[in-house]
């Protein structure tokens, strides 16, 4: 079968079910207990080296044994078997001196596997596939085998490509259906393997196989979540995704339990299908594996139930029994649905860690100092062979905030093709440097290629252009794409360099169309450099170069979607070389305007840039005039400015002027400017002013936090850049570091005072609560978190700070071990937001109850409310800054304040979510078929179903009102009177303490008590209710109700409750299903007996009492009588529901809840009502009234508009399943309306009339 056809066939199956991989080939071979002669056979009995342990060779010497192993896995349920070629390269076989049989070995291995797959396919009627195993080899491109020579490698990229190519040809010729690049401990090796696959497929012989499915599986070596060569899972995904693998995933090294957080990370980060085949647990003392098939299957079934995987299998220690158990365990679960374009509009790069550049990312700084053409010091170090010192330059760039590192070795006396890989290899030995992506910068394309062959991450190539013509451009672009790099395209063509806006746009547009349409580049991987050219040269034709760049940038970003804009900033001010202050001011002003126009990144020493707002007004005007060509004499005026203030152009007289300011202003200036010279002196001055700052903590909460607030505002406005923010953070850290010992002494003094007063100070009792804090994985910024920790510590909280780059499992484990009251997550960079979502989802999966606080520069209330809070059912709150943390935590840990505070947050975040979705220009919807495929899945074979104690009706006449008083929820009563207290005095009875409405609230409440007493004493109201239970099962989105509890269920039901399903597209990170009420009832096809309940309650007598008051012109009492009747009806519904759960349908017979817990729905089961969010169709009441005979039994009627009469009535359905939850159907689409109308036997127009408020279209 041709490659594309195989791809399509497998994808069709993957969309329907979870597919199964085989288990450990090595495990099964070990079980054969083979000896040297078995491995050698007749053919190799005189071989020069021992061959025992060369498992791949058995495909030639014991082919039937390999066939039987394949067959055993297939018969156990495997859809895929791997060829016995894990070490089938000339590199690995060199250990056995068998390089000469590598092609044959792979060819025969594939043929054996193909025969087994064909035989079992024919026997079972289920298609099986052969995955050609391409292992990692026993050498690595990214790690030196010599500690003394970190730049040394014992293999080259080209050698790996040659070796892998031979293996791939053998596998394809032998009939492999899939190519599996697996057990990747070094991504650079895998990139060589993927490169080799494309080289082989370029051969016309293999043209029919182009498009063959490629599976890529990495290996996380321990709980750090990194490969052996240091990459995180996300960086690994970024680095190999250019090959467009069908599946991405993990195998080996870990058992399923340990692998779970990492496979979840992979799945969240890719739109590819996810494959996972772990070991049978971790190895025991003797290197064996003890995990039973049932245990491995249980863990992988949990993966499947959580929607994490598309293909599962086993690696080391697994056997056909394991695979059989896994196949049986996952078959009931739906496959993972890959997120659609999870990084839409993002440029993805990677070093050891991912770099995600999105529309939310501030200006990206490309470090410029590792450039022999731009840094005399760096060039000197490289030329003199002082590579360790040159590496220090790179380290300094990253520490100063460079998010990408530019490497350029273009110097006449250097062999760039040798020096470039050597320096990149050295960088690879330094994780603190190699964590960021590289920019391989050279005008010599051979040097670029040498750099690409040495880089395991996804880097940027700087640059190519149309200067040598289109053919050359396309050839280079194709090679860059094959290496998986992004590319900088200069605005050059055959006619030369573009200088005007029009030429810049024309050349970039032409380049874009070639790259996207001909070469197949992802637009997000294209970075244009429209040429920042020198201004202020004295030549009139140069005066508008800055304007041309800015205008071209704006047009390019508007017309070429997905691309980025970069540039080398130093060119702009080249005329003023030697005048650094003027140059830096020009750069800052230019960047401010260019970034506004759409410039995304630049090669710039941003740590030395002044803040735009801090440039002296006269210099700022001169720079603005020069850049915007407003003054023909701007160049002369700038030169004069430099002469007036020295060659550097800096005003030495003014440099210390700020030292005369108030101390608070001096601290702010130090923070904004990143000046640490005087910060301790100024902090000490504040701290010693005990009148203004009684405690050292007050200095942090006051002037220091205010200064950092200014820094944050400038950063958000694009007037400061990340390196400058990092310098500010270091100043802050120094100030806080000075204050910490003082605060510790203050704390000791307070304890001593407490002891003098006879107050016991037991260490564990000293703390108001325990807070676990961490900067999430992928982020190294911690100053804000550290300040929060200091503030909390000074307010008597025990703070456990886990530092930076903290994996999710470490955060949660620490919280559980230390019985934390709060978990706080921090992050500065945009990728941190995704990691926070992951932590929230993991906390929900582990059923944690600890409140989650979110903070950091990139976080926001909106992101927390929309993206994070819905992932975790416990309090999830955004904390603006350190000063707010104490208020939030104290509110959460105070039993008297907690619920009121959470109610406030819940309402606030719900409004934020509504505003967010309302602001979307176009809310996306899924088709009805898509949502049904994403419905709630319940394993009905294990879901315990309780039978009701009776079937049919139970009527309650004149229920005693006295029994209902404890169930009354008074909050809605105050809403009737438009009385709303403010936190912390919102709910009943705290509303009485509210300064604004408390007195009036108490008055109406007391009046209500008087009226209640009157109603009870004079028997003015009668409470009537009916409860019913019936056998039921779901059929699609509907619930069929049956008269008799017989199995199988009759084909004609007693009645049908029709359901509506959510269609508004959820956030891609969400694993929440698309709900319909029918999801909570066992399907008829399951053969499981299930039941549904329903009820209706009413308060009679209110109409007559109200009329009496109205006849006496007493409107106040009339409104009060209606309000009390409504409260009694709701209380009756609550009381009956409790009776149902504990007695009548005792699925929660041990329940013991206070009234407040009942009002907050802290129980199993729901009672949704027609006409409300879970089923907005009021006409469903007609079915309820008919089945329960409501009007005949208790007298409650339905009006023409289907309102209940009397108005003080409540009705609904009872659902008992533990997964049943309230939800809002939300807006629905025309396809569902038509389907719903057809099922109900109504016209579409009739349904549209009843459902008009929730239609997503104009009817």
Given a cut of 70, whether residue 760 has pLDDT beyond it is no
pLDDT score, position 652: 39
Query: Would the pLDDT of 135 be above 80?
Result: yes
pLDDT value at residue 1143:
95
CA distance 730 to 725: 9
Structure tokens at 35: 């000896």
* Joined tokens for residue 384: 């003199």
402-415 pLDDT, tens digit each: 899 999 999 878 89
Tens-place pLDDT, residues 937-984: 898 988 889 999 999 999 999 999 999 999 998 888 888 888 877 666
Structure tokens that stand for 1140 in this block: 């149902």
Give the integer Cα–Cα distance in Å for 409 and 379: 8
Judged by DSSP in three states, 520 sits in coil
As a 3-state breakdown, the chain gives helix, strand, coil percent values, each rounded to 5, of: 50, 15, 35
Average pLDDT over residues 741-759: 80
Going from the C-alpha of 892 to that of each of 790, 855, 982, 984, the distances in angstroms are 19, 16, 17, 12
Please give the average per-residue pLDDT across 1043-1065, as a whole number. 94
Taking only the tens place, the pLDDT of each residue in 1113-1146 is 988 999 999 999 999 999 999 999 999 999 999 9
Q: Are residues 505 and 499 in contact, defined by beta-carbon separation less than 8 angstroms?
A: no
- Which is more confidently placed, 574 or 454? 454
Q: Which residues of 133-144 are buried (b: 16+ CB within 10 A; e: fewer)?
A: bbbbbebbbbbb
Q: 734 — alpha (psi -120 to 50), left (phi > 0) or beta?
A: alpha
3-state secondary structure of 103: helix
Instruction: Name the band, by pLDDT with cuts 50, 70 and 90, for residue 651.
Output: very low
Average pLDDT over residues 445-462: 96
**Is the confidence at residue 99, as pLDDT, over 70?**
yes
pLDDT in tens, 461-499: 999 999 999 999 999 999 999 999 999 999 999 998 999
Q: What b/e string do you get for 961-982 counting C-beta neighbours within 10 Å, with b at 16 or more? A: beebeebbbbeebbeebebebe
Over residues 304-344, the pLDDT tens digits come to: 999 999 999 999 999 999 999 999 999 999 999 998 888 99
**Max Cα-Cα span within the chain:** 117
pLDDT of the residue at 764? 47
User: pLDDT at position 653, please?
Assistant: 42
Q: Stretch 986-1009: mean pLDDT, rounded?
A: 84
- Determine whether 1094 is exposed, middle or buried from the number of CB atoms within 10 Å of its CB (0-12, 13-18, 19+): buried
Active site residue 781: yes
Residue 911 pLDDT class (50, 70, 90 cuts): confident
The confidence band for 1154, taking pLDDT boundaries of 50, 70 and 90, is low
779 is catalytic: yes
C-alpha dihedral, 685 to 690 to 695 to 696, nearest 10°: 10
Q: Is the pLDDT of residue 763 over 70?
A: no
What confidence tens digit (pLDDT) does each residue in 432-443 have? 899 999 999 999
Q: Kindly state the tokens that stand for 846.
A: 């582990």
State the Cα–Cα distance between residues 449 and 436, nearest whole angstrom.
Answer: 19
Specify the DSSP class assigned to residue 1140.
I
**Confidence at residue 896, expressed as pLDDT on a 0 to 100 scale:** 74
User: Which range among 644-658, 731-745, 867-881, 1129-1143 has the greatest average pLDDT?
Assistant: 1129-1143
Report the C-alpha dihedral over residues 1250, 1251, 1257, 1259, rounded to 10 degrees. -10
Burial grade of 1065 (CB within 10 A; 0-12, 13-18, 19 or more) = middle
Provide the pLDDT for residue 434.
94
What percentage of the chain exceeds 90 in pLDDT? 66
Alpha carbon distance 1227, 60 (integer Å):
63
* pLDDT at 836 > cutoff 60: yes
pLDDT classification of 52: cutoffs 50, 70, 90:
very high
- CA dihedral angle for residue 1144, residue 1145, residue 1148, residue 1150, rounded to 10 degrees: 30
Question: How many C-beta neighbours within 10 Å does residue 834 have?
Answer: 21
Band (pLDDT 50/70/90 cuts) for residue 1181 is very high
pLDDT given at position 650: 46
Residues 166-187, mean pLDDT to the nearest whole number: 97
Q: Is 826 a catalytic residue?
A: no
> In this predicted structure, what is the pLDDT of residue 818?
93
- Whether the per-residue pLDDT at 1068 is higher than 70: the answer is no
Choose the catalytic residue: 406, 779, 821, 1090: 779
E strands in 973-1058: 1022-1035, 1038-1041, 1055-1057
Among the options 593, 781, 863, 1040, which is catalytic? 781
Angle at 1126 between CA 1120 and CA 1128, to 5 degrees: 100
| pLDDT beyond 70 at 922 | no
The CA distance from 519 to 540, in Å, is 40
What was the pLDDT predicted at 654?
44
Whole-Å CA distances, 1255 to 958, 1182, 1247, 1252: 41, 22, 10, 5
Q: Which of 832, 891, 1028, 1118 is catalytic?
A: 832
pLDDT confidence of residue 1122: 94
Q: What is the DSSP string of 474-505?
A: HHHHHHHHHHT-EEEEESEETTEE--SHHHHH
Q: What is the DSSP string of 851-889?
A: -EEEESTT--HHHIIIIIGGG-SS-EEE--SHHHHHHHH
Contacts by 27-33, CB closer than 8 A, 24 or more apart: 27/289, 27/316, 27/317, 27/318, 27/319, 28/69, 28/72, 28/319, 28/320, 29/55, 29/58, 29/65, 29/69, 31/319, 32/65
pLDDT: which is higher, 411 or 126: 126
Closest CA to 134 of 90, 80, 86: 86
User: Which SS3 state, helix, strand or coil, does residue 217 take?
Assistant: strand
Q: 700: helix, coil or strand?
A: helix
DSSP state of 334: P
Whole-number pLDDT of residue 794: 66
Average pLDDT rounded to a whole number, residues 388-416: 90
pLDDT of residue 867: 86
Residue 1062, CB half-sphere, CA atoms under 13 Å: how many? 20
- Better pLDDT: 449 or 907: 449
Q: What is the mean pLDDT of the chain?
A: 90
């Amino acid at each position: 079968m041709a490659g594309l056809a195989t791809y399509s066939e497998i994808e069709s199956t993957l969309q329907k079910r979870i597919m199964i991989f085989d288990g450990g080939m090595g495990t099964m071979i070990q079980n054969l207990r083979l000896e040297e002669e078995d491995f050698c056979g007749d053919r190799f009995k005189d071989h020069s080296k021992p061959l025992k342990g060369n498992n791949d060779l058995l495909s030639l010497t014991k082919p039937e044994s390999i066939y039987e192993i394949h067959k055993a896995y297939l018969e156990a349920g495997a859809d895929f078997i791997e060829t016995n070629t894990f070490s089938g390269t000339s590199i690995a076989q060199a250990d056995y001196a068998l390089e000469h049989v590598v092609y044959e070995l792979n060819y025969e291995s594939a043929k054996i596997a193909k025969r087994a797959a064909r035989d079992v396919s024919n026997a079972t009627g289920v298609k099986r596939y052969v995955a050609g195993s391409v292992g990692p080899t026993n050498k690595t491109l990214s790690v030196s085998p010599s500690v003394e020579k970190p730049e040394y490698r014992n293999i080259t990229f080209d050698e790996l490509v040659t070796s892998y190519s031979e293996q791939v040809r053998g596998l394809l010729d032998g009939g492999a259906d899939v190519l599996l690049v697996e057990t990747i401990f070094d991504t650079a090796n895998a990139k060589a393997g993927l490169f080799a696959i494309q080289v082989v497929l370029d051969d016309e012989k293999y043209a029919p196989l182009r498009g063959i499915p490629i599976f890529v599986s990495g290996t996380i070596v321990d709980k750090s979540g990194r490969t052996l060569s240091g990459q995180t899972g996300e960086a690994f995904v970024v680095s190999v995704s250019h090959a467009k693998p069908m599946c991405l995933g993990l195998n080996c090294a870990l058992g399923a339990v340990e692998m779970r957080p990492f496979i979840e990370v992979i799945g969240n980060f890719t739109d590819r299908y996810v494959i996972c085949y772990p070991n049978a647990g971790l190895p025991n003392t003797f290197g064996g594996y003890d995990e039973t098939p049932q245990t491995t299957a249980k863990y992988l079934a949990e993966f499947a139930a959580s929607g994490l995987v598309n293909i599962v299998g086993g690696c080391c220690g697994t056997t056909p029994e394991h695979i059989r158990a896994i196949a049986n365990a996952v078959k009931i679960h739906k496959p993972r649905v890959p997120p659609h374009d999870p990084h839409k509009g993002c440029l993805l790069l990677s070093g050891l860690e991912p770099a995600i550049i999105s529309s939310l990312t501030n200006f990206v700084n490309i470090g410029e100092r590792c450039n022999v053409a731009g840094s005399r010091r760096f060039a000197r170090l490289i030329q003199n062979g002082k590579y360790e010192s040159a590496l220090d330059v790179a380290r300094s760039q990253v520490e100063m905030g460079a998010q990408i590192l530019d490497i350029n070795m273009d110097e006449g006396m250097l062999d760039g093709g040798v020096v470039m890989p050597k320096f990149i290899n050295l960088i690879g030995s330094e994780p603190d440097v190699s964590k960021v992506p590289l920019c391989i910068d050279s005008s010599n394309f051979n040097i670029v290629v040498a750099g690409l062959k040495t880089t395991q991450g996804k880097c940027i190539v700087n640059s190519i252009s149309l200067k040598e013509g289109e053919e050359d451009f396309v050839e280079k672009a194709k090679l860059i794409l094959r290496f998986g790099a992004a590319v900088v395209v200069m605005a050059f063509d055959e006619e030369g360099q573009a200088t005007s806006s029009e030429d810049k746009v024309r050349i970039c547009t032409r380049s874009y169309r070639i790259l996207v349409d001909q070469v197949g580049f992802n637009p997000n991987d294209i970075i244009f450099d429209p040429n920042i050219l020198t201004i202020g040269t004295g030549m009139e034709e140069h005066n508008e170069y800055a304007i041309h760049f800015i205008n071209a940038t704006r047009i390019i970003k508007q017309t070429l979607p997905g691309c980025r804009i970069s540039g080398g900033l130093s060119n702009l001010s080249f005329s003023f070389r030697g005048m650094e202050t003027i140059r830096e001011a020009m750069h800052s002003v230019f960047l401010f305007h260019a970034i506004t126009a759409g410039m995304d990144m630049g090669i710039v020493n941003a740590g030395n840039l002044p803040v735009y707002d801090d440039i002296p007004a006269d210099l700022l005007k001169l720079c603005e005039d020069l850049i915007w060509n407003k003054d023909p004499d701007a160049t002369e005026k700038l030169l004069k400015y430099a002469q007036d203030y020295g060659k550097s152009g800096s005003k030495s007289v003014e440099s210390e002027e700020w030292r005369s300011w108030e101390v608070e202003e001096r601290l702010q200036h130090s923070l904004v400017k990143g000046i640490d010279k005087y910060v301790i002196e100024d902090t000490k001055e504040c701290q010693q002013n005990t009148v203004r700052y009684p405690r050292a903590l007050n200095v942090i909460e006051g002037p220091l936090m205010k200064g950092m607030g200014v820094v944050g505002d400038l950063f958000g406005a694009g007037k400061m850049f990340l390196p400058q923010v990092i310098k500010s953070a270091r100043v802050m850290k120094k100030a806080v570091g000075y204050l910490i010992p003082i605060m510790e002494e203050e704390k000791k003094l307070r304890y001593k005072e407490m002891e003098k007063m006879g107050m016991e100070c037991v260490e564990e009792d000293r703390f108001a609560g325990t807070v676990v804090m961490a900067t999430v994985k992928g982020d190294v910024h911690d100053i804000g978190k550290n300040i929060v920790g200091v503030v909390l510590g000074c307010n008597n909280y025990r703070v456990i700070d886990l530092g930076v780059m903290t994996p999710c499992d470490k955060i949660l484990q620490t919280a559980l071990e230390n019985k934390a009251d709060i978990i706080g997550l921090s992050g500065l960079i945009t990728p941190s937001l995704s990691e926070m979502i992951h932590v929230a989802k993991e906390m929900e999966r582990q059923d944690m109850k600890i409140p989650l606080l979110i903070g950091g520069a990139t976080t926001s209330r909106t992101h927390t409310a929309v993206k994070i809070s819905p992932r975790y059912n416990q309090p999830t709150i955004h904390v603006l800054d350190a000063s707010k943390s104490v208020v939030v935590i104290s509110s959460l840990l105070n039993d008297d304040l907690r619920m009121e505070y959470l109610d406030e947050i819940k309402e606030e975040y719900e409004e934020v979510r509504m505003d967010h979705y309302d602001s979307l220009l176009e809310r996306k919807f899924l088709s009805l078929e898509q949502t049904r495929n994403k419905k709630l899945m319940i394993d009905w074979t294990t879901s315990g179903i309780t039978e009701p104690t009776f079937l049919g009706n139970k009527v309650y006449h004149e229920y005693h009102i006295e029994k209902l008083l404890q169930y009354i929820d008074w909050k809605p009563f105050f809403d009737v009177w438009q009385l709303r207290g403010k936190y912390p005095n919102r709910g009943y009875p705290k509303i009485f303490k509210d300064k604004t409405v408390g007195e009036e609230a108490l008055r109406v409440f007391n009046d209500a008590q008087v009226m209640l007493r009157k109603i009870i004493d004079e028997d003015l109201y009668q409470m009537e209710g009916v409860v019913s239970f019936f056998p039921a099962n779901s059929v699609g989105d509907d619930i069929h109700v049956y008269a008799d509890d017989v199995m199988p269920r009759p084909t004609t039901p007693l009645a049908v409750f029709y359901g509506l399903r959510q269609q508004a597209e959820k956030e891609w990170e969400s694993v929440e299903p698309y709900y319909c009420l029918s999801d909570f009832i066992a399907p008829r096809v399951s053969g499981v007996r299930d039941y549904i309940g329903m009820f209706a309650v009413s308060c009679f007598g209110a109409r007559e009492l109200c009329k009496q008051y109205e006849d006496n012109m007493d409107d106040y009492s009339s409104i009060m009588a209606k309000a009390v009747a409504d409260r009694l009806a709701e209380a009756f519904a609550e009381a009956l529901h409790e009776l149902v759960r504990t007695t009548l349908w005792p699925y929660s017979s041990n329940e013991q809840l206070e009234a407040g817990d009942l009002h907050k729905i802290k129980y199993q089961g729901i009672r949704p009502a027609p006409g409300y969010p879970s089923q907005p169709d009021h006409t469903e009441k007609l079915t309820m009234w008919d089945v329960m005979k409501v009007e005949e039994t208790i007298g409650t009627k339905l009006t023409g508009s289907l309102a209940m009469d009397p108005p003080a009535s409540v009705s609904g359905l009872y659902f008992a399943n533990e997964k049943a939850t309230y939800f809002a159907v939300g807006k629905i689409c025309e396809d569902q309306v038509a389907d719903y109308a057809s099922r109900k036997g109504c016209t579409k127009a009739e349904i549209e009339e009843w459902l008009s408020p929730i239609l997503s279209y104009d009817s």
